[in-house]
Amino acid sequence: MVRRFLSFSSHRKRVLLLKVSFTIVSCVGLLIWWNRELFSSKEIFLPRSGYQKAEFPIHQLPEHGKELGDEFLVRVLQEHKYVEVDLQARGTLERDDYDEEIKTDLKGTMWNLGARGERGSVPESQAGVAEEVLKKEAFNKVLSDLIPLNRTVPDTREPACRGISYEKDLPDVTVVIIYTDEAYSSLLRTIHSVVNRSPPELLREIVLVDDYSKKKELKGKLERYLSKKFTPGKVRLLRLNSRAGLIRARMIGAHVAKGKVLVFLDAHCETTESWLEPLLTRIHEDNRAVVCPIIDVIDDKTLEYSQGNGAFFQIGGFTWSGHFTWINIPPYEAARKKAHHSPTRSPTMAGGLFAIDKEFFWHIGSYDSDMQLWGGENLEMSFRVK
């Protein structure tokens, strides 16, 4: 259940659901942590030259503004300009050209379709159109448009998770979401799920970075929707004036972030109950921890949420050819854990979805800006994490 799965979007070509459960590695995912034993097999061996010890102790990070000295970020900001849309001003307009279109979209959704993550289908009269659109979009966009944007999903946490009480002083977060010509409905469903299932005091903001989209519905229509449906300042929208690629766009999103923790998500996720607190708990305990969630699947044709097997999951490794791969948890790591839901150390991460202390992100060098699209950056960052 810790695998990548189905086609979905232009950036990641994945369809997925963010699943959080305290019975599965710290209620949510894999702790990226250096340990020599984890590199003992040939499949995941890492030369010691790749190891750098952090220069600061736990909870004593550099002052805010570390990113301004990041050579990779400086290059990105020189090559790619961006503007932040004034959503608050747009929301104060009494009337907008897109108001009727937005109302029509909302009226066109089918109440209870896809509720609780159940499988859905389009009316027979739209089946042919849906099939053709699926070939182009790589998922059932027609069905997605019919499912309510704030649909419910099942609470898949195991019983041991539901009684957990989290500390009140967890750091707040900026959720960074990059998109390029993403489907309008799946993007909004991602945003709604994050807002609806995140404690307001912990969700500082969602930063959307539009990596030079061409779709008309992602322009004024999206701006108007965001400005009317969400609290001012809770969702921010940046537009790049040229295609930067996923990695550079993420760097720009991290640059403007106000939260203490960065959570990177794909533009086609749905979060579940108590998804955020476990991530932040691990970082609160050790701000050098980089935490990844377990990911379940949303079917590309029916948009059904499929829960994985919580009793079994894998951690990240890599092959000699430099490709990420999933590997079984070594027996000594399983024995080290105090409980099944305790964090599991992993040599590498998949990289699509993870949380990291913002200052630590800049301290370890952020991303290499020459990695313009995606693929490989997850291993490169994993090797620098301590």
Q: How confident is the model at residue 341 (pLDDT cuts 50, 70, 90)?
A: confident
**Inter-residue contact 253 to 165 (CB < 8 Å):** no
For residue 333, what is the enclosing H or E element? helix 331-336
**Other residues' Cβ atoms within 10 Å of the Cβ of residue 168:** 6
Q: How confident is the model at residue 384 (pLDDT cuts 50, 70, 90)?
A: confident
**Inter-residue contact 119 to 303 (CB < 8 Å):** yes
| φ, ψ of residue 73 in degrees (nearest 5) | -65, -40
14-66 pLDDT per residue, tens = 333 333 322 233 354 344 433 333 333 222 222 222 223 333 444 444 444 55
How far is C-alpha 91 from the chain's CA centre?
27
Exposure b/e, 325-358, CB count within 10 A at least 16 = b: eebebbeebeeeeeeebebbbbbbbbbbbbbbbb
Q: Output the pLDDT for position 27.
A: 52
Q: Which of 13-27, 204-218, 289-303, 369-383 has the lowest mean pLDDT?
A: 13-27
Q: Is the pLDDT of residue 385 over 90?
A: no
Q: Is the pLDDT of residue 81 over 80?
A: yes
**Inter-residue contact 1 to 295 (CB < 8 Å):** yes
Token pair in block for residue 323: 């490709």
Residue 241: DSSP 8-state:
S
Token pair in block for residue 14: 């994945």
Residue with tokens 């490169």: 380
242-287 pLDDT per residue, tens = 999 999 999 999 999 999 999 999 999 999 999 999 999 999 999 9
Closest CA to 359 of 215, 254, 206: 254
Q: Is the pLDDT of residue 237 over 90?
A: yes
